[in-house]
Amino acid sequence: QLPTGLYKKVLVILHDSILPYMNEPTLMIDFLTVAYGIGGAISLLALNGLFILIHQHNLEYPDFYKKLYSLLDPSVYHVKYRARFFHLLDLFLSSSHLPAYLVAAFIKRLSRLALSAPPEALLMAIPFICNLFRRHPACRVLVHRPHGPQDISEDPYVMEEEEPSKSKALESCLWEIQSLQNHYHPDVVKAAAVLSQFLSEMEDDISGLLELSAYELFDKEVKKKATDVPLEFEQIRGLFGKKNDIFAEHFTLD
Amino acid sequence: SNPFEVKVNRQKFNILGRKTKNDVGLPGVSRSKAIKKRTQTLLKEYKEREKAHVFKDKRFGEYNTKISPEEKMLRRFALERQKNYGKKSIYNLNEDEELTHYGQSLAEIEKLNDIVDSDSDTEERGTLSAELTAAHFGGGGGLLRKKASSTQQDEEEEKPKSRKELIEEMIAKSKQEKQERQTRRESAIELTEKLDNDWKEIQTLMVRKTPKSERKGKEVEKPKPDEYDMIVRELGFEMKAKPSERMKTEEELAKEEQACLQKLEADRLRRMRGVDEEANKKKPSHVSADDLADGFILDNDDRRLLSYKDGKINIENVEEEKDEEEEGGEEDDDNEEESEEESDNEDEEDSAADGHSDLESDLENEEEGAGNKEQEKQKTNESESQNVEELDPKVEAAKSELPYTFAAPESYETFKSLLAGRTIEQQLIILERIQKCNHPSLAVGNKAKLEKLFGFLMEYIGKLATLDLPELRTIDKLVLPLYNLCQMFPEAASDSIKFILRDAAHDMEEVLEVKGRATFPGLDTLIYLKIISLLFPTSDFWHPVVTPAFMYMSQLLSKCRVTTLQDVIKGLFICCLFLEYVSLSRRLVPELINFLLGVLHISLPKKRAQGYTVVHPFTPVGKNLELLLVCDKKDLESWQKQNLPLSIVSRLNETSRTEINHIRLSCLALCFDLIKKCAALYEYLPSFHEIMHPIRILLTQNVPVSNYPEKMQELYHSALKELEEKEKHYTPLICEKKKPVPLKQYTPKIVKVLEFGRKQGSSKKEQERRQLIQRHKRELKGAIREIRKDNKFLARIQLSEIMERDSARKRKVKELLGSLATQEGEWKAMKRKKGKN
């Protein structure tokens, strides 16, 4: 019923400026559930208030995880509220009593979406996934399946399935992370390479990674001191003069 | 020495391996030594404390240790002679005299004798021959044995030879030898004397033959033989021609070059894999093995990548079939020529350099060997002569108008004024001359100057790109000197490019913070990014310049709003850049896929987005939709595939609708082609289909193919084919085996003890500091002790002086008193006498 901008503003401050001062926070249940059902960024924001209600006021939310699962779409790595969302997601998935299929579905979906994520999000998402593996050793089959069927022609995981239990995530493998081991950013490659080894017991602390921005990453790279600078050895012949230069095919210098 | 004078420092504990210096002391001896030293130095000073005169030693070089004693003596003698030179003493009769014997100077004879002596018998000078030593010290047995080995027959005949006899025999022998030698020497001396005499006679004759009148004439002629002599001497001293390495045949040259390229390529691969940082363990082995093999034979359809792949292949073959070397060589040559023909542009530049260098041969000489450019020249000189001739007049004209030396510009303004108003050729020549005149090997500060030049050049290129009518042709040429400079100073170049990148990224970040959205940067930044790919290897796992450039481009693609057609072109340009950057390393760039998806999305009519999601900066709904949508049937039909001119980026002057539509279609075509290239690039990734899934959906379900012109349909189908043909193939993941952790061992940990009683385990610097402090303390204590001892010594001397003075005074007083007493006594005695009397 509210315009989108206002909706967002309200939801951003709801959890720490409104709810603690209400006598009856449960009154907000309807508002929040509606907001949660809208989808997109508003759902992500409503999650925070909803969490407080569930956590402190005994709210029973049916199919909470299913809804959470459906919130994961490609934009989740790109939106401004990424840090907040992943902080909450971390909280929700920290319980060790969650069924393995559910966690596996989350892992699979997160890594599938990571294929289109920017590097700063990847640097956060990969340790996040690692942590999930540590909490739920039953999901280890996703990265280690020594006696599985060889040469599968199709990924068993069903991305379009709304219900995590039917997504067949446990039958799949994390080929996405394997692909990310060929990412262009060296840190992402290193982070992804961790998953192909047996994980250490200690969980990574991702609180510092949540707020990572692209500019920070860039700054870090620029400030690195290099001992020597490798050079291109191929002689050049002009701006577009490289061997089979893509530009020469599509652009002219006029 | 006297045991009562020895003081022993007894140790409480004996420690093995410790060396003690001070366990025994001689206090008496050391004290007397100290006192003696003080009397020699301190006491002297004390006694001379109120005296102003100084004793000066004027002997030559008395205190100069650098001169050896002989030399010192010689110099002194020379000085003395100098001093005495002028005065002709009438009393000194034997001045300038020379003692002679048989008409020869004695000194010379002595010298001669010495020389002869030097090679005379060895025994006389005390050196022992092996035989002699054996005879004297070896014992009879040894001698006998030796004899036995040397002269068997003798031994058989007269075996019973006593030791005495043997020795006598030897002595006789040696005496005989000695005599022989003496006679030989004498005869030699005689001969030389005779020769000398003969020579003297002849000489006198010769001297007489040239009367004085003729001499003057001879003197005039003299230079002639001198010249000849000089030539002879020159020839004599001239460096002998050393055997140089033989000229290499073309085959060998080609082979060497290939080996070099191969090595560079191997280096690049190693860096690409990032082996240095994390040995191969971090990559799943089953992927990387295939992966690399693939990466190497990537796009093997083109024949131009010769230096990389064919080199590799050739070399492998060479090892297998050595007898077919000839063929291989020929192939190599072919390759060589081909690559030469390709490199027209560069050769033009080089030829220009060559012609120029003739004029400044001295500079050139010094430069030879520096820079790999020369090498390039060598390679290209022969086959490109006709090209050179074609180009020459133009270049010559340009050259003739320019001065030959240029000072390296100190600021960008001077640099700009240097290049302002010149043609491209002239600018290039100017740059080249600046480089040559300021080659780092010529002067100290040149390196810094040329490093600055790189920055100026970059700035200049940026300025050229931001003009209303960007002079891209000029930039195209200017890239070459930039490349050369970069090869010379990689550090400086990387720093200046990093600086540019940081500025650009910083600007974008600021805009993002203020406005919440960023816009694509100008053409200059795009050109810079392109230049980076030319100067540095973009396939490295980590590279100080390329990695930040990657980050920056990723931000551009994911943060900048796409609102106009220029933005689309810029974005596609960056996509091309990305593809070029990863063309060898085949790394995944999600931003690239996202952007291509977004570009396709905005080419669709509204309300048709299904089955895929676009991400930032594109939105499923919004005003930038349909940016690339072309509905006009006519425009669709009249479209021809064309290359996009880069200048569009900074200005879109084609106001006519048709042309804009055409550009839109070109963008779309470009997009299709890029998708195709991406598909070829990423097909090896295990989740290739997942990555390309949204694009495939969009292509198959949403794109209105039938509306497109034929050419576009072709492109579309080839892209789609590339996407769909790849077979799906998954193998389950397996973690790498963990290395077994070794058990904890209970062997003692061994720590290196450097010095006893010192604290261990601090850094080397800290240890050094502590040592220095300690030494300083010790020295200070020693100095204080010495000063104290000096003071004591002085006090003692002063006291003894005072005592001496006092005792002398007392003695004198006593004497006086005594004399007075005797006087008094005498006087009283006299008085008594008088009284008696």
pLDDT tens, residue by residue, B250-287: 788 888 888 888 888 888 888 777 765 444 433 333 44
> In this structure, what token pair is assigned to residue B629?
């949508």
The beta-carbon neighbor of B594 closest among A116, A182, A226 is A116
Encode A60-90: b = buried (16+ Cβ within 10 Å), e = exposed. Answer: ebeebbebbbebbebbbbbbebbbbbbbbbe
Residues B572 and B655 in one domain: yes
A21 touches chain B (CB under 8 A): no
B475 touches chain A (CB under 8 A): yes
Residues B603 and B690 in one domain: yes
Contacts with B, A 78-137, CB within 8 Å: 78-79, 112, 115-119
- Does the pLDDT of residue B510 top 70, yes or no? yes
Rounded-to-integer distance, Cα B253 and Cα B263, Å: 15
User: Of the candidates A121, A118, A51, A53, which has an alpha carbon nearest to the alpha carbon of residue A89?
Assistant: A51
The beta-carbon neighbor of A230 closest among B343, B536, B734 is B536
A178–B687 CB contact, under 8 Å: yes
Per-residue pLDDT at B788 = 96
Rounded-to-integer distance, Cα A43 and Cα A36, Å: 4
Q: Encode pLDDT of A81-125 as tens digits.
A: 888 888 888 888 888 888 888 999 999 999 999 998 889 899 999
- Does the pLDDT of residue B676 top 80, yes or no? yes
ipTM: 0.92
What contacts A215, CB < 8 A, 6 or more positions away? B505, B509, B512, B555
Q: Encode pLDDT of A180-239 as tens digits.
A: 988 999 889 988 888 888 777 777 788 888 888 888 888 888 888 877 888 888 777 777
- Does the pLDDT of residue B139 top 80, yes or no? no
Q: How close B443 comes to chain A (CA, Å)?
A: 24
The beta-carbon neighbor of A237 closest among B345, B542, B590 is B345
Residues B561 and B457 in one domain: no
Name the closest residue on chain B to residue A238, using Cα atoms: B476
Q: Encode pLDDT of A132-154 as tens digits.
A: 888 888 888 888 888 777 777 78
Residues B645 and B596 in one domain: yes
Q: Encode pLDDT of B294-339 as tens digits.
A: 344 433 333 333 344 444 444 434 334 444 444 444 444 444 444 4
List CB contacts (< 8 A) between B581 and chain A: 184
Domain boundary, last residue among B690, B725, B760 = B725
How many of the other CB atoms lie within 10 Å of CB of B713? 14
Residues B705 and B602 in one domain: yes
Per-residue pLDDT at B143 = 45
pLDDT bracket for residue B828 (50, 70, 90): very high
Per-residue pLDDT at B298 = 39
* Substitution target from A239, A242, A252 for chain B, most B beta carbons within 10 A: A239
What contacts A48, CB < 8 A, 6 or more positions away? A11, A14, A15, A84, A88
Mean pLDDT score, B164-175: 91
Per-residue pLDDT at B87 = 59
- For chain B, the distance separating the N- and C-terminal CA atoms, rounded to the nearest angstrom, is 76
Residues B535 and B676 in one domain: yes
Rounded-to-integer distance, Cα B117 and Cα B109, Å: 12
Per-residue pLDDT at A16 = 77
Residues B469 and B577 in one domain: no
Name the closest residue on chain B to residue A183, using Cα atoms: B588
B131 within a domain of the structure (yes/no): no
Burial of B320 (0-12, 13-18, 19+ CB in 10 A): exposed
* Substitution target from A229, A244, A252 for chain B, most B beta carbons within 10 A: A229
B538 within a domain of the structure (yes/no): yes
B696 within a domain of the structure (yes/no): yes
Residues B567 and B703 in one domain: yes
Domain of residue B594: give its range. 507-725
Amino acid, res. B222: K
Most confident stretch, A209-213, B356-360, B771-775: B771-775
List CB contacts (< 8 A) between A253 and chain B: 472-473, 475-476, 645-646
A200 touches chain B (CB under 8 A): no
List CB contacts (< 8 A) between B545 and chain A: 229
Residues B529 and B447 in one domain: no
B300 touches chain A (CB under 8 A): no
Q: How close A179 comes to chain B (CA, Å)?
A: 6
Name the closest residue on chain A to residue B619, using Cα atoms: A75
B574 within a domain of the structure (yes/no): yes
Per-residue pLDDT at B371 = 41
Q: List the domain boundaries for chain A.
A: 96-147+154-222
Q: Rg of chain B over CA atoms, in angstroms? A: 50
Residue B377, phi-psi category: left (phi > 0), alpha (psi -120 to 50), beta (remainder) = alpha
Place of tokens 């044995």: B145
User: Of the candidates A213, A231, A242, which has an alpha carbon nearest to the alpha carbon of residue B305?
Assistant: A242
Domain boundary, last residue among B696, B725, B754 = B725
A74 touches chain B (CB under 8 A): yes
Encode B427-445: b = buried (16+ Cβ within 10 Å), e = exposed. Answer: bbbbbbbbbbbbbbeeeee
List CB contacts (< 8 A) between B486 and chain A: 231
List CB contacts (< 8 A) between A78 and chain B: 558, 615-616
- Beta partners for residue B505, in sequence order: none
Claim: this prediction has a pTM higher than 0.90: no
Per-residue pLDDT at B523 = 86
Q: How close B397 comes to chain A (CA, Å)?
A: 23
Per-residue pLDDT at A252 = 78
Contacts with A, B 486-505, CB within 8 Å: 486-487, 490-491, 493-494, 498, 501-502, 505
A222–B501 CB contact, under 8 Å: yes
A250–B376 CB contact, under 8 Å: no
- Does the pLDDT of residue B810 top 90, yes or no? yes
A215 touches chain B (CB under 8 A): yes
How many domains does chain B fold into? Answer: 2
Mean pLDDT score, B71-81: 88
* Substitution target from B551, B612, B641, B672 for chain A, most A beta carbons within 10 A: B551
Q: Encode pLDDT of B460-490 as tens digits.
A: 888 888 887 778 888 888 888 888 888 888 8
